[in-house]
Each structure stands twice: as structure tokens, then as C-alpha cells.
């Protein structure tokens, strides 16, 4: 490979979509780098750096050659029987093939013969000249642009005077106005989007001291843009600078204050500014009477501000603005942002005051006017189903008192959907219901349940804070899952418009992490009954739903670090879900025993024998029919093990239950070595099958140990 230099490619465009900027920048750099490596223009040791600002996508690649090394290639031509006649002379077909490759008859003597499958073939060795940087970069640039994950393409007309024939309009994420391609200090003659590559770009719209900004060398790109263009080109560097300035600005206001921690907001703001300047603003303290979730949301979502919180997490009346300009007198920028946010906060206060004039209970009839689903009725009908499910679960877990609390919370849980605040900020559903419940004089248990009944909303989210909340959240998710499966609205591929996977995972987490002694099949069946005739084939849809949930639990448990065999062994016996963690721990401990592997294999063998047996095999033993010493020894071992195993099982000590089985290894091995199960005497055979069924039942109470067999 020839001497290498660094390569810089930049597309200068109009303001890119902020939520997609980081992904666009990373994709542009990655594909460009991959394509250059694929063409041999840079090695695997070459490093790529992505740059992305509101108006540019760029990539810096180290160790790029002006031309790739030549490559020796061996190309299969055709079978020897086709290419050569009986005298060894070249056939017309072979000569034509060589001509297409730029060779003539003189190359025939140098052709190699090698076996290709069952026939001998002719191979032509040649050297392919390596790609030049100009050609290779053009290919890489075209590919990088084509593979950009553009959220929405726009078409635009090229500016007049374009010298490229055939170009009239272009489709891209935003109109492009400049292209830089530098190999060291040399411009690489490539083109894209109707633009010819050069060595100059534009800096900050208002604050660049030099325009245009000339890039002298690929390696000084970021430094030159910062100095002459007032732009921090690197997304990560700009983000880090914003974090630093946010912390410094918060410290000037109060040592215990800190900006809200929100990575999505930080990424979006980073994508909106080229040279950040953080400023401190404030609003009137009277707005702090409004729930802080409302104020925080309106500042974040509408204005991209960073609210300041005190050491207890309480909102203050000061906030931080990330400006894209740095004027000598920032008072106008600060005052403008304070004027802009005031009407937003006033709206939130108005909504809050208006909503509290009507109780949640008064809003219940209004749910009958809100359509939930055209096949499943209104929100009012849905609420009645959730109430029925919640009452049943509450009764089972805590009797009449809990059932009544769950019923009340379920009845009011969706009423905040009818409030002005949730109408303006749908993200606050549940949260506002909790505030309004307290204002109506309801208990904290009810208020927390209303606020938490959507939880967990996403992977890693916290669970509801109290038992009432857990029950209502279970009922809400069960109603959604059973209803959607009941009408055939199933998730497919990556499409899951009703978030059924998320609902199933939330259900799993609550059942397991809250250690609830509830049977999932019974929950699904009882929930299905609340739909009445709306679900036409409940047995079929319930079966599909159970399978769907059990698939989710396998993934959930594996994510917690349990092996696939361990999970399969426990889940396959369909235990109460609160018992699953202890059963998994017991299986893991059992697997470390020296006897585990042999017992798992024996258990699998026993299961196969019982499956092949005709009719139903009862797990009972007639000791008078035991003949062989090995079967007598196994029966005695089972009698010896049973008391300690049963005692551990009754106490919920699953680890001790499985460890007690270790004593069965020797008699089980001896049984299979010396006893013929399928004896000619049907009575003897039935008794031996009964002995194996007893063994099987004893071994598989905690988990199906056969799933551990390798």
C-alpha cells in the first residue's frame, strides 16, 4: 500500500433533524469507513471519527492510501472438458472467456488445473489493480449517503448554474450546500448531491469570525472549525461542554442545585446548537404551586430548557437555557426566554386550577363517551372490566378490604384522561390522577395506585409502590392483553402498536418481583370471563396469550443471568411465579452436585419410558411385587428420601428438596443396569412403571430436571 494520510469528508447542509442527528453522524462515518476498508484503501487499524453538528455530517479517517494495493486473484473459468479438446488445445469457449478477461491464447499455457467438486476445472491467475482514492471514495460516499437512516426524505431543486448534466433535483434529508473531501491537504475530486468537493465550509451562522472557513489539512478540521468557524464539530465534545456548563451554571445559583438528568433532552439540545452557551433564567415562584411534573414537562418538551432541582429533587423557580449565541450582554437572551416560558407555565396553572373544580368521581360517567377500541367498547366499559379483575385479585391477596380499595382505584384510574392537563400533556396520565385524588380527599393508598397503575412503563422502570397499585396495574395489563388477544390484535415482527410485549413483561415483573401467589392460567381465564361475548373463542386466545407470556418470561429470566436450561427446567413445570426465583436458585445449586448430570439423564430416560407406556401410569408401588434387588433398593431409597424431601418442599426450601435427591443416584443407576422395566408379566411391568412414575414425580416437583440433561 502507498503512503497513507488522513481523509476528511464533510457534507454541509441545512439544519438537520435534531432527534436523528447523532444516528445520522455515526452512520455516515461508519459506512464510509467500511467501504474504504472493503476496497483496500485503509487497513483494519485505521480509525474513524464521526462529526455531527446541526449543519454538517463529517468523518475523519486515518491511514488512507492514495491507491489500494494490487490484488492477486484466481478466477475459475470452466471445466477442463469444456475448455480443452482431446489434444489439449483451447476451445473457442475458453478463448472467448479469456478475451473477456483481457487475455489472449498465450495465456492458455499458464492456466492452472484444480479439482472443483467432482470435476477438474481451469483457473486463471491475474493481478487486479487496486482502486484509486478518487474512485474508491466516490463509491464509499455514494454508499454512505444511500445508507443514511434518514427519518424523512425531502426533495429540492439544485441551484442554477450546475455544470453536472442530468442533475435537476435531489432527494436528501436536508438541502446540501457544500462538500469537503481532503486527503491530507489535497482535495479529492469527488461529487455528491450535485456538489463538487472542495476544501472550504461554513462556520456558525452568526458568530464565525471567518467565512468561508478553509480547511488546510484533514487533521486540523475540528481545530479550524472551532477557531475560524465558532463551531464544536464533534457531537460528543459539544455534549460534554454542555454538561460542564450546566453544572457550572447551577453552582453559581446554589451549591445544592443541579439540572435535571435527562439524556434524551441533552442529546436533542446538543443537536440544536453549534457552540453552546448556558444561561440562568427564572420564573415567578407562584407557579411552583402547580405540580412540578407539569412545569418540568412543559419546560423540557416545549422549550428544551433544563429545570433546576434542589438536593431533595424539588423544582426551583430557576432554569437553564442552552443558547446558540454568546452575546456580550446576555440580558436580552435571558429576558426573551423568561417571557417565552411564562405563558406556558400560566397555561399549566390554569389547567391545574380548572381540573380541580371537578372531582375524579364526577368524571367517571364521561368515560362512557371515550372510545377505547371499536371491538372492545368505551373506556367506561373497559374500566368495568378492570374493576372486576382488580376486585378478584384483591380478594385473593388481601380479602374484602384490599378488594374494595382496588375497586375504587380501578374505577378512578382512567378519569384523568378527561382532564385539561392530561389533554395538553398525555405523558402525565396517572401522575395527575394521583394529584387530583389527594385533592378529592382520597387516601394515599388510592392516590398512589392511580398514579402507579401504568407501571412499569418500560424496561427497568420501578414497580407500583403499594399493594393496591400492584393489583390495579396487574388488572390493567391483563385486561389489555386478554382483550387484544381475544380479538386477534397480536404483535407481528417489530410491530406492536398496543405495546403488548411491554405489558407482558410488566405483568411478569410484578408477579415475580412482588412474590405473588397467583396462578397465571387462572388470572387469564378469570380476566377473559369479564369480556363476556366480546371474545368468541376464549380458550384459543387464552392459550395463545399464555404461550406469548411464557416466551417473554424465558427472555426476562435469561436477561437476569440464568441459563437457558435452568429457565426451561423451572418454567416448564408452570409454578406460581413468585416461586420462580427460589426454584431457579435451587436448580443452579443442584447443578453443582456431582450426581446432578447422571440424575438429569436418568430423569430424561424415565420420562421417555413413561411417555411410551400404554394408558395412564399411576405413581404407586406394590411392594409385594418387587422382585429384583435393584428395584427393591430403589423403592427403599425413595422411602428414605421422601420424608426430608417432602419436609423441604412443604417449607418452600427448594434447594434442600433437590439436594435430597442426590442419594438416589446409585439406586437409580443400578435399577437401569439390572432391571427390565418392560417385563413379560403385565402386573410386574405395571408395578415397575409405577415405581418410575413415583421417582419421576419426586424428582420433578421443583423443576423438570430432564431439561438439564446434555
DSSP output for 211-246 = SSEE---GGGHHHHHHHHS-----HHHHHHHHHHHH
What is the grid cell recorded at 216? Answer: 488546510
Q: Hunting for cell 448554474 — which residue is that?
A: 161
Report the alpha-carbon angle 272-276-282, nearest 5.
Answer: 95
Cβ atoms of 478 and 507 closer than 8 Å: yes
3 state DSSP class of 55: coil
- How far is C-alpha 620 from the geometric centre of its chain's CA atoms? 50
What residues contact residue 451 under an 8 Å CB cut-off, 6+ apart? 430, 431, 433, 434, 437, 469
d(CA 332, CA 292): 27
Cα atoms in the Cβ-side hemisphere of radius 13 Å centred on 118: 0
Q: How many CB atoms lie within 10 A of CB 169?
A: 9
Mean pLDDT in order along the chain per 10 residues (710 residues): 85 94 96 93 91 97 88 80 82 85 80 84 79 91 93 78 58 92 95 93 94 95 96 97 96 92 96 96 96 95 94 95 93 95 95 97 97 95 97 96 97 97 94 97 97 93 96 98 95 88 95 91 94 93 94 90 91 88 92 90 89 84 90 92 92 92 91 88 90 91 89
190-202 as b/e: b if 16+ CB within 10 A: bebbbbebbbebb
The angle formed by the CA atoms of residues 513, 519 and 520, to the nearest 5 degrees, is: 80
Task: Give Dmax (Cα) for the chain.
Answer: 106
Q: Which pLDDT value is given to residue 160?
A: 56
Distances (CA, A) of 130 to 72, 102, 137, 190: 10, 17, 13, 18
Distances 355 to 154, 343, 412, 415, 420 between C-alpha atoms, Å = 42, 18, 15, 11, 6
Q: CB–CB of 675/618 below 8 Å?
A: no
- 644: which 3 cell numbers? 426430608
Structural contact between residues 231 and 225, judged by C-beta atoms closer than 8 angstroms: yes
* Distances, alpha carbon 353 to alpha carbons 287, 293, 436, in Å: 12, 15, 10
- Residue 609 has phi, psi (to 5 degrees) of -65, -45
The strands making up 71-79's β-sheet, listed across from edge to edge, are 71-79, 119-128, 112-116
| DSSP conformation letters of 153-203 | -EEEEPPTT--STT-SEEEESS-EEEEEEEETTEEP--EETTEE-BSEE--
Cα–Cα distance for residue pair 248/308, rounded to 1 Å = 12
C-alpha cell belonging to residue 584: 431457579
CB neighbours of 310 closer than 8 A, spacing ≥ 6?
254, 256, 257, 316
Q: Which of 406, 397, 283, 415 is nearest to 346 (CA)?
A: 283
Residue 709 is predicted with a pLDDT of: 85
**Alpha carbon of residue 643 to chain centroid:** 47
With H, G, I as helix, E, B as strand and everything else as coil, classify residue 47.
Answer: coil
Start-to-end C-alpha separation, the chain: 51
Q: Is the pTM value of this prediction over 0.85?
A: no
Give the number of other CB atoms < 10 A from CB of residue 707: 21
Task: Count Cβ atoms within 10 A of the Cβ of residue 571 and give its class: 0-12 exposed, 13-18 middle, 19 or more buried.
Answer: buried
Helix (H) or strand (E) holding 307: strand 306-309
What DSSP assignment string belongs to 332-386? HHHHHHHHHHHHHHHHHHHHHHHHTTS-HHHHGGGGGGSEEETTTEEHHHHHHHH
Give the Å distances, CA to CA, from 548 to 24, 457, 510, 543, 560. 35, 19, 17, 9, 19
Q: Check residue 2 and give its pLDDT.
A: 63
pLDDT at 165: 52
Element holding 608 (H helix, E strand): helix 596-612
Q: Which residue, among 132, 141, 156, 131, has the nearest Cα to 191 in the 3D structure? A: 141
Cα separation, 498 vs 484, whole angstroms: 8
Phi, psi of 378 (to 5 degrees): -95, 175
Query: Tell me, what's the pLDDT at 161?
Result: 45
Amino acid at each position: 500500500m502507498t503512503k497513507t494520510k488522513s481523509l476528511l469528508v464533510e457534507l454541509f447542509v441545512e439544519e438537520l433533524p435534531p432527534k436523528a442527528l447523532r444516528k445520522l453522524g455515526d452512520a455516515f462515518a461508519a459506512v464510509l469507513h467500511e467501504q474504504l476498508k472493503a476496497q483496500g484503501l485503509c487497513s483494519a487499524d485505521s480509525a474513524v471519527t464521526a462529526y455531527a453538528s446541526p449543519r454538517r455530517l463529517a468523518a475523519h479517517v486515518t491511514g488512507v492510501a492514495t491507491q489500494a494495493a494490487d490484488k492477486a486473484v484466481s478466477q475459475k473459468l470452466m471445466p477442463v472438458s469444456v475448455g480443452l479438446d482431446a489434444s489439449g488445445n483451447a476451445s473457442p469457449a475458453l478463448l472467448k472467456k479469456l478475451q473477456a478477461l483481457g487475455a489472449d491464447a498465450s495465456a492458455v499455457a499458464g492456466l492452472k488445473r484444480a479439482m472443483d467438486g467432482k470435476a477438474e476445472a481451469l483457473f486463471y491467475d491475474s493481478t487486479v489493480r487496486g482502486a484509486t482514492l478518487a474512485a474508491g471514495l466516490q463509491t464509499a460516499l455514494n454508499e454512505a449517503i444511500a445508507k443514511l437512516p434518514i427519518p424523512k426524505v425531502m426533495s429540492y431543486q439544485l441551484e442554477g448554474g450546475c455544470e453536472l448534466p442530468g442533475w435537476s433535483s435531489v432527494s436528501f434529508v436536508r438541502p446540501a450546500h457544500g462538500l469537503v473531501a481532503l486527503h491530507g491537504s489535497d482535495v479529492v475530486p469527488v461529487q455528491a448531491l450535485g456538489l463538487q468537493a472542495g476544501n472550504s465550509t461554513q462556520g456558525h451562522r452568526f458568530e464565525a469570525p471567518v467565512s468561508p472557513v478553509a480547511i488546510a489539512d484533514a487533521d486540523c478540521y475540528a481545530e479550524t472549525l472551532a477557531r475560524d468557524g465558532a463551531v464544536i464539530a464533534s457531537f460528543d465534545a459539544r455534549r460534554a461542554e454542555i454538561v460542564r456548563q450546566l453544572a457550572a451554571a447551577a453552582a453559581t445559583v446554589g451549591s445544592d442545585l443541579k439540572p435535571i438528568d435527562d439524556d434524551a433532552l441533552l442529546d436533542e439540545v446538543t443537536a440544536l446548537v453549534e457552540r453552546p452557551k448556558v444561561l440562568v433564567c427564572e420564573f415567578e415562584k407562584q407557579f411552583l404551586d402547580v405540580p412540578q411534573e407539569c412545569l418540568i414537562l412543559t419546560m423540557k418538551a416545549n422549550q428544551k430548557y433544563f429545570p433546576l432541582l434542589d438536593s431533595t429533587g424539588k423544582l426551583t423557580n430557576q432554569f437553564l437555557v442552552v443558547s446558540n449565541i454568546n452575546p456580550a450582554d446576555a440580558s436580552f437572551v435571558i429576558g426573551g426566554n423568561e417571557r417565552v416560558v411564562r405563558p406556558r407555565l400560566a397555561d399549566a396553572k390554569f389547567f391545574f386550577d380548572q381540573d380541580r373544580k371537578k372531582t375524579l368521581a364526577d368524571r367517571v360517567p364521561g368515560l362512557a363517551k371515550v372510545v377505547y377500541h371499536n371491538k372492545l367498547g368505551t373506556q367506561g366499559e373497559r374500566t368495568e372490566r378492570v374493576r372486576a379483575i382488580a376486585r378478584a385479585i384483591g380478594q385473593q391477596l388481601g380479602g374484602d378490604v384490599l378488594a374494595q380499595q382496588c375497586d375504587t382505584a380501578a374505577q378512578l384510574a382512567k378519569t384523568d384522561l378527561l382532564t385539561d392537563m392530561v389533554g395538553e400533556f398525555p405523558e402525565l396520565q396517572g401522575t395527575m390522577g394521583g394529584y387530583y385524588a389527594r385533592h378529592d380527599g382520597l387516601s394515599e393508598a388510592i392516590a398512589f395506585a392511580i398514579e402507579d397503575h401504568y407501571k412499569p412503563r418500560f424496561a427497568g422502570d420501578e414497580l407500583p409502590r403499594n399493594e393496591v397499585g400492584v393489583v390495579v396495574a396487574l388488572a390493567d395489563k391483563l385486561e389489555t392483553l386478554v382483550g387484544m388477544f381475544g380479538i386477534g390484535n397480536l404483535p407481528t415482527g417489530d410491530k406492536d402498536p398496543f405495546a403488548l410485549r411491554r405489558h407482558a413483561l410488566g405483568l411478569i415483573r410484578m408477579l415475580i418481583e412482588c412474590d405473588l401467589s397467583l396462578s397465571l392460567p387462572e388470572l387469564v381465564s378469570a380476566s377473559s370471563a369479564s369480556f363476556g361475548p366480546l371474545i368468541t373463542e376464549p380458550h384459543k386466545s387464552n392459550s395463545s396469550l399464555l404461550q406469548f407470556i411464557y416466551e417473554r418470561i424465558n427472555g426476562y429470566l435469561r436477561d437476569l443471568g440464568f441459563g437457558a436450561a435452568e429457565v426451561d427446567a423451572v418454567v416448564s413445570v408452570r409454578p406460581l411465579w413468585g416461586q420462580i426465583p427460589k426454584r431457579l436458585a435451587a436448580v443452579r445449586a443442584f447443578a453443582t452436585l456431582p450426581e446432578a448430570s447422571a440424575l438429569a439423564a436418568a430423569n430424561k430416560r424415565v420420562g421417555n419410558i413413561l411417555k411410551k407406556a400404554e394408558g395412564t401410569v399411576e405413581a404407586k408401588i406394590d411392594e409385594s411385587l418387587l422382585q429384583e434387588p435393584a428395584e427393591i433398593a430403589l423403592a427403599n431409597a425413595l422411602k428414605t428420601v421422601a420424608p426430608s424431601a417432602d419436609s423441604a418442599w412443604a417449607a418452600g426450601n427448594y434447594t434442600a428438596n433437590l439436594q435430597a435427591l442426590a442419594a438416589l443416584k446409585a439406586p437409580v443407576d443400578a435399577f437401569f443396569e439390572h432391571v427390565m422395566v418392560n417385563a413379560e408379566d403385565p402386573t410386574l411391568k405395571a408395578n415397575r412403571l409405577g415405581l418410575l412414575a413415583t421417582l419421576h414425580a419426586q424428582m420433578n416437583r421443583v423443576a423438570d430436571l430432564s431439561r438439564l440433561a446434555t
